[in-house]
Structure 1
């Protein structure tokens, strides 16, 4: 019983000492990576910029830092007069070298009409 009380009090002390302004799970929602995924993310950004010259591009690792699932939002004139399936195929073709290492992809393509 003494062990339980000491253990609970040490948990309470750690909880009070911990800063709650930065939760532990924050890494899941950031685009920073842990083990070299920056290379994948940077390569995706470079390939998409070269191919589509987007007016807006957002590439985010949403896999919790392991680089297996990316969310991409790209706005480009290249998607004008294209159906969604066609524009998604264009993006998939552009990143095919990196795509084989990715397990999931959330993709949003927007036609820039300006």
Structure 2
């Protein structure tokens, strides 16, 4: 079964050009993100992603405003995938979260 899902993921990613690496590059370039961690939660189809994004551009923004900023940057990519869940942090918030406080 894994071979089928791996092949499906590769085919989907080849047709859309969307991979965790391409999503990360775009976020790093367009949001000056200092940390991006993209997880493929799709079980192999390459269509459901969760992301941790750390950017100074999130400072003084609400969670909704941060998500809108990210979704605007990835508008074309999000339209081509099934599900997208961003978790957005400023560098200071990320340091506190990593430190457990």
Q: Do these two structures clear the TM 0.5 threshold for a shared fold by scoring above it? A: yes
Note the C-alpha offset of 1:97: 1.1
Unaligned stretches of 5+ in structure 1? 1-23
- The higher radius of gyration belongs to 1
- Report the Cα offset of residue 59 of structure 1: 1.0
CA contact (8 A) 1:37 1:65 kept: no
- Write 1 or 2 for the structure with the bigger share of helix: 2
CA RMSD of aligned residues (A): 2.2
Aligned equivalents of 1:64, 1:97: Cα separation in 2: 22
Paired position in structure 2 for 1:40: 18
Question: Match for residue 98 of structure 2?
Answer: none
Q: CA deviation at 1:43?
A: 2.3
Mind listing any 5+ residue stretches in structure 2 that lack a counterpart? Answer: 96-101
User: How far apart in 2 are the matches of 1:72 and 1:37?
Assistant: 17
* Poorly superposed stretches of 4+, deviation over 4 Å: none
Structure 1 residue matching 2:67: 3-state secondary structure: helix
Provide the aligned length of Structure 1 versus Structure 2. 85
